[in-house]
Amino acid sequence: MNILIRFNPAKPKAGEEVRVQIVVQHPMEPGTRRDASGKLIPADHINELAVLFDGQPIATVKPGPGTSANPLFAFKMKAAKAGQIKVVAKDLTGKSGERTADLALA
């Protein structure tokens, strides 16, 4: 799964609030839909998203089957210092993906 991370503003000033946006490219199959032949499509959705800043956990999300495909997760944090954001996503089938992005200050 591909993960995209974006900061707004891209380079905040020290102490400024920054919006962190995370998009996880995933089909998010709820397990309730059927294919063209009528067979139930097995559930396959992200069930855990962890966000770390310089190795310290800052957010954990437990999405459910009702979450849309390619979900966008966003939150605000104070940009007290430059550092690295790491996002780790896991789904029901055991697949996982991770991405890091450096938060630079202006």
CATH number of the domain bearing residue 59: 2.60.40.10
Convert the pLDDT of each residue in 72-89 to its tens digit: 999 999 999 999 999 999
Number of domains in the chain: 1
For residue 23, what are the domain limits? Answer: 2-32+41-103
The predicted model scores a pTM of: 0.92
The phi-psi region of residue 94 (left if phi > 0; otherwise alpha if psi is between -120 and 50; otherwise beta) is left
**pLDDT tens digits along 27-67:** 999 999 999 999 999 999 999 999 999 999 999 999 999 99
Long-range Cβ pairs for the range 57-63 (8 Å, 24+): 63/28
